[in-house]
Structure formats: C-alpha cells, structure tokens
Structure 1
C-alpha cells in the first residue's frame, strides 16, 4: 500500500491509501472516530463477518490491528458504533442469520471489551442509525426480524450505562433502515432510507433532542443554472445575439449558482455535517439511478439542496462559455455572443474535462466519517475489493469565485 497524503487545501474529492494491514474492504462495518483515530469493527464479505477491531491513524497514515480481550462481541455487520474519549460502544447488527440484541463497551486504555446489561434494550435489528451527543447515544429505526422497519428512538446513557426508549412528540417519521443521520444544533437529523413498505424515501426529518419533538424539514425547490443559458424562442430566431454583462448578472443572480436539483429517492449513503451549516451526503442505492456516486449538499440556512456533481459540471460549462465567446467592449460593458446550439456545444467541449474530475466509483453499503467537521472520509462498500479511501472537502470557492464574478463584472477577477 502507498502512503496517504492529506492535502487539506484541495477541495472536492481526492483518493488516498493507508499503509499497513487494514481490514479487507467491508460491507457495512461499524465505524467511530476519536480525534485522529478511526476505529472499525465488524462488516461483512461474501456471507462472512468480521469481529476484528482495526484502527486507522489519520496522523501516521497507518492501519493497525488491536488485540482485544474480555467479552469480545460476535462477528456482525450493519451494526451501530460510536466513540468518545477513551471508550467505544457497539450495539445490535446481524451476521446473515442471527439478529443481535446486545451492547458492548470497549476501553481503549485496557483494550478490553465489556458487555453491558441494561434492564431495557432496543429489540434486535440491523441497518439503523446510532449517534453520540453529550454523553448519550441515540438509536433510530432499523430492520427487526419478522417485522416492518422500525421508527422508534432509543437513548443510551454512556455514564450510567442503560437504555431508555424515547416517546417523542410530533409526527413520527415512517419506519426506515439504511438512512443517514447526523447531529446538528442539538438535533438528530435523518435523511432518506428504505421505508416500511420497502420503497426508498428522500425526506429530511429532525428530532429536537431538547424538546424531544420530531419535525419534518421542508426543503425549497432547487434550481438549475446552465439551462438558463439557453435562449428563448424569440432569441433563437437569429443565429446569434449579443447578451450584455448586466443581463447575465440578472439571470445568474435569479438562479443562484449554488443551487441544483434535489437528491433522488435513496438509501445506503453516508453523510456528515460541514461548518455547522451543510449536510453532505454521498452515494447509496437510488430508485432512479441504482448504485450511484453523486454527492448532495443541503444548506440548513436556505433549506435548499444542491447536487455537487451537477454544480461542478455547470462550473465547467460556465468556464467554457466565458472562454469560448467573443467579447467586445461596448459602452463600458462586456458583451457575449450567444448562438442557438450553445448548450449542446458546451456539453461536447467539456466532456473530457468532466471525465477527468476525480470522484469515487458508485457505491452503497460503504461507511464514512467526518474529521474536523470539514472533511468526509469514505471507504468500503458492497463487493468493493480495493482499499481506496476517498476524502471530500466542500468546494466553497466555486460559490465565492462566481459571486466575485457577478459583483465585479470582470473576467480577470473570476
């Protein structure tokens, strides 16, 4: 394996590797991050599961295997796993035949597993969400044995070491599994998943952990940018037409460059919270797209989704548009020559550039974790044989550069 190189200034996706003997690429392992250490337990491959605990050091760029003792959990996949300070916790999951209803704590100092016996406990399940927040773990949903997917919420006190079922107010989300979940502003936010009737969903639901109340997050219709470069019927009657910079400004300001279309019905992705404002979701299985590798970003302030890949492609289209159009100085403004076949011509010109844009292959059942709240690390997935690790950083400069362009009207500032 080659040495990983973290280039924090690089935005978008990049691919790296870790040295050392790490796990084989696994389907739905448990994962927890404490500081610069990423811990991985369980996961499945070709109907077998792992019970080995691995650690990937982001600081030294190496995998290591932890030799554990005590009440070692049975091998499993699709489990829940969290970590904080010197402790790890895992719960539930299954091994292709057995549904587990148990909880374990791992002490990173003594490297010893201890099974926790709580009077109350969530029923056996897999493919649920488990999040750590302020000394508590929050469990939602999952697939039980011989029942529909669940929509119950449980709280685990990591200090007193016991489970309690939460009876929240508000309209409960539909039961689901394989959804993504994050903590945002003292709330648990869930996105997508497989619903109780087996269909995929793409809704955003939020449980306020102070009020213990569910709310559905209403999202605004998203807008596309590049189609607005197409001319109207009246414009297309002539072979070309001059469009002033002021007209371009009005059109692009109206569409807002950062917005794109909403995510499809999907499950099995991973997500992180970025800058306490954006939810970043990658990959999964989509009803419309199948196994995919799209990255979607939700802005909690504007309540709008954007398709990062479409935004990236639109940015290439815009660059090509600006570089290919003849411009002349006229009354202090820059004019662009627009022709009726503009969009199709631009698409053809950027195809090679787009194919070279680095992004992970389509995947579901993979795992991900956030580091420093501004990077998303992704690896593993169903039937993935490689040891690639992908890192995503939200590309804020796309928005910033374009806004500078709008405000200045100067190509040299873009």
Structure 2
C-alpha cells in the first residue's frame, strides 16, 4: 500500500502560541479546529494554563477566552473528548480520594462511546503506575478495572488509541534505563489484557517513549520518540496489525527528531502533529499533517508537486 506522506502546515503569522511540549491535541469536527490546553517549555521549565485553537479553515491560531473556574497550569496531562466537549485530567496536586485515580502525569487516555480510559503514568511519589480506570462522562463516576490477562509493567510516556472495540497500547518508559516496544490490547468486552505476538518479526522500532502514534484502518503508525539506543529519533514505522508485520517508512520530507509531540485525527485519512521537543531540548510549535490516502481533489492539489510517497 502507498501512503501519501507528510506536509508542514502553513500557519499565518497574526498570532502563534508559545512552543510547548507535553500537551495533547483534541479536534472539533463541528468547528474544524484543533485545540490544546497547557503544556510546558523545556528551556525554562514554565507550565501554562492557556487554551488555544487552530482553525484548519483559515490556518490561524487563537487564544480562547474561557468562562468558569480555570484549570491549574499543567503539563503531561491528557486532553480528549468528543464533538465540542473536551476533558482534561492529570496533575500532581490532586488529592488521592477513594473511587478515583490518584494524581499523575505522563499517563495516557482515550475517549470511547462516552467513556474516558486512563492508564499508567507517574504519581506524586515518582512511582510508575499500571492501573486502568474508566470515567463515565454521563454519570461522572470512576471505575477501576481488575488486572486480568497478561501483566503490563508500570510505565509512563506511552501511547493509547482505540482499535476495533479494544484499547491498543504501545511503548513507554518502564524505568530510568528501560523502555518498551511491545504492543498490547485491552478488550473492552472481556476486560482483559493481551500482547500482540510479533515473535516472527526480525525488525521493529526501538523501545520508545514519547512517540506520536495514530491508526488508519488496520495500520498502526509510530513516529519519533526517545530510545535508549539512539536518543531522539525521527524514525517512522507502520505496523500491519492484521498481518503482524512492522515496516520502516522512508520519507525525505518529514518532521525532525522530537519527543512528546501530540497527534490527533482530523479526518478518516488525515492526522495532525504538533509541538514536542528536539535533541537540543528546545520546544517548537510546528504543525504537520500526514495524509494516508487522498480524500478529495484538494488534497491531491496540495501534494501533487511534492515527491513524498511512502511505500508499504
């Protein structure tokens, strides 16, 4: 299969947000905008409590004016939602309460059918976690899942997404010197974990943390991150989930090496990448789009003069 490739998005210069790392994008398809809240600048260790939007129609940024009690400054939180409602969770000053996950950062979350699922992260005592929680956005109640199936090591800076009524989990930092490149599934019907058998594969991404990942049909893409072997990376991999095969994609026009960039799906075939920090620990505010397949003539017109096809 051929995938179209990467293109850096033009951002009109009326206003840009500060470069950030450790934030997360969410997309409003009714407004055709991407949003992010908070984040961190590595250079000076500043955290933020601002809400920004980027219009994919006008290609302009806007700092949103909000009402109500504003969330605290934070980074390494999760930010997800559906339609025009977004949920922020995670910080270190949350009190531990019964029937509620303890405060944490560098965890992962996904939204599915009115529920938010949260796994792992690092707590106030700097311990990595491997608990899985469900938050019902209708009843506003938490539920912790029992640990069933294969054992998942506590981790941080991993990735989660929904795939065929399952949560797919990739990578993450297990300890100071240990990361992982295994792929796990949590079945939302049986409430149990399983590990994807890739034992016959002789190639795979390095064990990574802080990667940017997304799913298109039965293909799972992994871009960038940090590995113990090579440090910051711009490697781009795709996993054929059905056939259990990894392949490294080559593309001369793609984002540079980075860690902690955020990725969000904006259409069935298009994904936006934002921010992250590079090997010099400098954060950025670049926007890139990855197109898997052409949707309309407009997409073709954008890419027709650029040699950026990826073969699979």
Which TM-score band applies after superposition, normalised by the shorter structure? 0.7 to 0.9
Deviation at 1:222, TM superposition (A): 3.9
Give the whole-Å Cα distance in 1 for the aligned partners of 2:211 and 2:239. 14
Give the whole-Å Cα distance in 2 for the aligned partners of 1:370 and 1:220. 30
Secondary structure of 1:360's aligned partner: coil
**Is structure 2 residue 266 aligned with structure 1 residue 371?**
yes
Q: Which segments of structure 1 move beyond 3 Å, counting only runs of 4 or more?
A: 220-223, 383-387, 394-400
Give the whole-Å Cα distance in 2 for the aligned partners of 1:279 and 1:161. 31
Query: Cα–Cα, structure 1 residues 191 and 386, in superposed 2: closer, same or farther, change >3 Å?
Result: closer
Give the whole-Å Cα distance in 1 for the aligned partners of 2:198 and 2:293. 22
- Show structure 1 runs of 5+ residues with no match: 1-8, 94-98, 103-116, 224-260, 313-356, 401-414
Would you say the 8 A contact 1:12–1:394 is kept in 2? yes
Secondary structure of 1:152's aligned partner: strand
**Is structure 2 residue 90 aligned with structure 1 residue 92?**
yes
**Is structure 2 residue 34 aligned with structure 1 residue 41?**
no
Query: Cα–Cα, structure 1 residues 203 and 262, in superposed 2: closer, same or farther, change >3 Å?
Result: same
Moved more, 366-375 or 289-298: 366-375
Larger radius of gyration: 1
Structure having the higher helix fraction is 1
Higher RCO by CA contacts (8 Å cutoff, separation 6 or greater): 2
Query: Cα–Cα, structure 1 residues 212 and 394, in superposed 2: closer, same or farther, change >3 Å?
Result: same
Q: What is the aligned residue count?
A: 289
- Show structure 2 runs of 5+ residues with no match: 295-308
Give the structure 2 partner of residue 71 of structure 1.
69
Query: Cα–Cα, structure 1 residues 307 and 210, in superposed 2: closer, same or farther, change >3 Å?
Result: same
Give the structure 2 partner of residue 391 of structure 1.
289
Query: Cα–Cα, structure 1 residues 264 and 84, in superposed 2: closer, same or farther, change >3 Å?
Result: same
Would you say the 8 A contact 1:118–1:161 is kept in 2? no
Give the structure 1 partner of residue 235 of structure 2.
294
Query: Cα–Cα, structure 1 residues 395 and 221, in superposed 2: closer, same or farther, change >3 Å?
Result: farther
Give the whole-Å Cα distance in 2 for the aligned partners of 1:152 and 1:41. 25
Residue 133 of structure 1, aligned match among 90, 109, 112: 112
Equivalent positions of 1:14-413 (< 5 A) are 14-19=7-12, 20-35=14-29, 36-45=32-41, 46-93=44-91, 99-101=92-94, 120-196=99-175, 198-222=177-201, 261-274=203-216, 276-309=217-250, 357-382=252-277, 383-384=281-282, 386-394=284-292, 399=311
Deviation at 1:385, TM superposition (A): 5.0
Deviation at 1:271, TM superposition (A): 0.7
Give the whole-Å Cα distance in 1 for the aligned partners of 2:82 and 2:74. 22
Deviation at 1:389, TM superposition (A): 1.2
Map Cα deviations across residues 89-120 of structure 1 (whole Å, 9 max, x no partner).
10113xxxxx1338xxxxxxxxxxxxxx9862
Would you say the 8 A contact 2:249–2:311 is kept in 1? no
Secondary structure of 2:253's aligned partner: coil
Give the whole-Å Cα distance in 2 for the aligned partners of 1:186 and 1:100. 33
Give the whole-Å Cα distance in 2 for the aligned partners of 1:14 and 1:399. 16
Give the whole-Å Cα distance in 1 for the aligned partners of 2:89 and 2:39. 13
Query: Cα–Cα, structure 1 residues 160 and 190, in superposed 2: closer, same or farther, change >3 Å?
Result: same
Structure having the higher strand fraction is 2
Secondary structure of 2:105's aligned partner: coil
Please tell me the root mean square deviation across aligned C-alpha atoms, in Å. Answer: 2.3
